[in-house]
Structure formats: C-alpha cells, structure tokens
Amino acid sequence: MGLIAYLKTQFVLQLLIGFVFVVSGLIINFIQLCTCVLWPVDKQLYRRINCRLAYSLWSQLVMLLEWWSCTECTLYTDQATVDMFGKEHVIIILNHNFEIDFLCGWTMCERFGVLGVSCLYAFRILPPPLTVPLVGWTWYFLEIVFCKRKWEEDRETVFGGLDRLRDYPEYMWFLLYCEGTRFTEKKHQISMQVAKSKGLPKLKYHLLPRTKGFTTTLQCLKGTVSAVYDVTLNFKDKKNPTLLGIINGEKYKADMCIRRFPVEDIPQDEQECSAWLHKLYQEKDALQEHYDKEGCFPGSTIRPSRRPWPLLNFLFWATLLLSPLIHFAYGVVFSGSPLLIIGFTLFLVVAFVAVRRLIGVTEVKKTGSSYGNQEAKKQN
C-alpha cells in the first residue's frame, strides 16, 4: 500500500472530509431555507438558485468517487445518445443492485452538466425528508416526490408533485428505480414468486419492475419529457462497491450501458406501457447475463473525462471550514482545560455518528421494502 492510499484509510482525514460535508450541508440548507421567500415572487429563480446550491452539496460526493477513490466510469452507448445528454428532459431507469449506484449516476450527470437537476425527483420510497439530515432536507427544497408505497395515499401527492415539475426551468433528469428497492437474494425470491403468480417471465439479475410509477410518470410528464434513458450498471471483476469503500479510497471500475428510447416510441396505453417496461427489464437481464459471461456490455465505449469543478468546490468548502476548526483544535489542546478537551472530543464523536448515519442510508441491509412479502405487509 502506497503512502497516499494509506492516508486515505486514516480516520482523521475521513472525519475531516465528513466534517466539511456536514457543516457545508447545514450552511447550504440554511441558505435554501432563506430562498423560500422567493417562491411566491419568482418560482423559477428559486429553482435555479436551489439547483446551484444542491450542486455544491452533491458534487462533494462526486468528488469522493472521482478524485478520492479515482473510480473509473465507462459508458457503453453511441455518440448520438451522448450528444443528447443535458439537452432534453428525460426519465432515467436504473437498476438498483449496488450501494453506490446513485453515485455512479451522479458522476455521469456532473460530467454532462446536469448534476443540479439530476436524481433529485426520484420516484422511490425513502424515510420522510425531514428525518434524513442534509440529503433529505436538500431534497425537500428541490420538490422531490416522496411516496409511501400505498397508491391510494400517494395518488394526489404523485400527480401534484409531477405536475409541478412540468415547467421546470432547466433540463431535468428524473430518476426511477422501477424495482422499488435494492436487489437482494431474499427479495429476488419473493419477486419471482410474484412474477410466477402473474404469469410473467422470470428475471435473473433484477426484481420484477413496478409499472405504476413508470406509467404514471410518463403520463404526467407527457409533453415535457422527450426520452427515456435505460441505464444498466455493473462493475469489473464482480466487485460490490460500498460508500464506505469509496471513503477508504478503494478504486472501482464502473460500466454503464445506456440506451435512449424516444417517448413517441413508447405505448401510451397503460397496459401496453406496462408490457413495454417488462420487456425492457428482460432486455436488461440479458445485458447483465452478457456482462456476467464476457466482463463487459456489448457495443462501443465512451469514457467522458472528469471535470475539475467537484474538486474545486470541495477545496473551497474545506478552506473555509477547516482553517477555523484546526485553529480551534490547536487552542483546545494547548489550553489545558479538561472541560474544553472533553467538549471537543464529544463534538468529534457526534460528527462521526452523523457521518456514519449518512453512510448507513445507502447500505443495502438497511434499505428496501416489503415488496411481495405478505407477512411484512400485515405487520405494516
């Protein structure tokens, strides 16, 4: 292990990075709160400002992937599809197998200039926004559509939330995890039981997609969204990366197969649209089968270069926040005051717990749903 790789695994450095993210996030959230006064006056200005503020927070996570762990991202697609990135409103369909799948999506969004309005309107189930520090609060200000997985309760929320996004001032990438939860073997077994009961083809690498979210989103954003991007993600050497691994500086090689489907080529009828989505997931399964055997997706590759802005953004926040922290820590250590030392130690512990909680939100074992699990549904 080289010196730089060793330093990346040290708790002190990781804590400092976490400190910068948490404190800068709280500052950004406060500024977002202040921008609420703009909503009744100029809604579009409010949105543009909050997109930039969100970029300042999200890009710190992208910095970890691109500059800290130096993870490589390769696209398997054609140049014509890449030329459309950032130039149209789209729906993104992404498989949900890995803890950092969202982060790989974000790094591609950043490289094509749409990070501020990407993966922010995810039609998937999360804890209430105000219970998830920084990330949840930021999503709240960005009008993300939050659901409870109960269509009777979600109907008005979903239709209202999606309708508000029709006039979004910048090109929006709307992320959909159609599987509804991250892939695990247990969930896959339950999902395939549901597929068998409905007479649907079995999938090997995916859960049965939930069609209601996709058909509803397509219907509500008709006239706004011009295409659907199907993204299938996997990693070289059958790695299963984690956010904790990224923080420890582990390097991964991500591959993404991207296919573009114009909206006019997708059936408008709900049943036909649902059948189209099931067929899409059978194709995604075939792509994963090919990757499992060959170690790559079919087709040509494109490797967009990383941009310096995430690193510069992080360095700005680090310079702003770490200088006073280091000066304060120096004063505490040499003050000789037990009370100050204990207080500062408690502060470090709280910071560590906060960072760990944020990491825990992405962990597979702590996320997911009771899809197809009748016992869990009865308990709920």
> Given this model, what pLDDT does residue 362 score?
60
Q: Which of 229, 288, 285 is nearest to 260 (CA)?
A: 229
- Answer yes or no: are the C-beta atoms of 209 and 278 closer than 8 Å: yes
* Higher-confidence position of 150 and 38: 38
Q: How confident is the model at residue 118 (pLDDT cuts 50, 70, 90)?
A: low
In total, the chain counts a number of residues equal to 380
Tokens describing residue 44: 């579009």
Q: What is the pLDDT of residues 160-206, one digit of tens each?
A: 888 888 888 888 888 888 898 889 999 999 999 999 999 999 999 99
- Answer yes or no: are the C-beta atoms of 260 and 84 closer than 8 Å: yes
Task: Return d(Cα 94, Cα 106) in angstroms, integer.
Answer: 12
Q: What is the pLDDT of residues 247-306, one digit of tens each?
A: 999 999 999 999 999 999 999 999 999 999 999 999 999 999 999 999 999 999 999 999
> Given this model, what pLDDT does residue 336 score?
78
Residue type present at position 71: T
> Given this model, what pLDDT does residue 164 score?
85
Task: Return d(Cα 122, Cα 136) in angstroms, integer.
Answer: 12
In our burial notation (b when 16+ CB lie closer than 10 A, e otherwise), range 57-96 reads bbbbbbbbbbebbebbbbbbbeeeebeebbebbbbbbbbb
Mean pLDDT of the chain: 87
- Answer yes or no: are the C-beta atoms of 235 and 297 closer than 8 Å: no
> Given this model, what pLDDT does residue 130 score?
65
Owner of token pair 């105000």: 130
> Given this model, what pLDDT does residue 328 score?
85
Task: Return d(Cα 110, Cα 104) in angstroms, integer.
Answer: 10
Q: Which of 57, 61, 30, 23 is nearest to 347 (CA)?
A: 23
With 50 as the cut, is the pLDDT of residue 120 above it? Answer: no
> Given this model, what pLDDT does residue 122 score?
45
What average pLDDT does the segment 229-235 reach? 97
With 70 as the cut, is the pLDDT of residue 114 above it? Answer: yes
With 70 as the cut, is the pLDDT of residue 380 above it? Answer: no
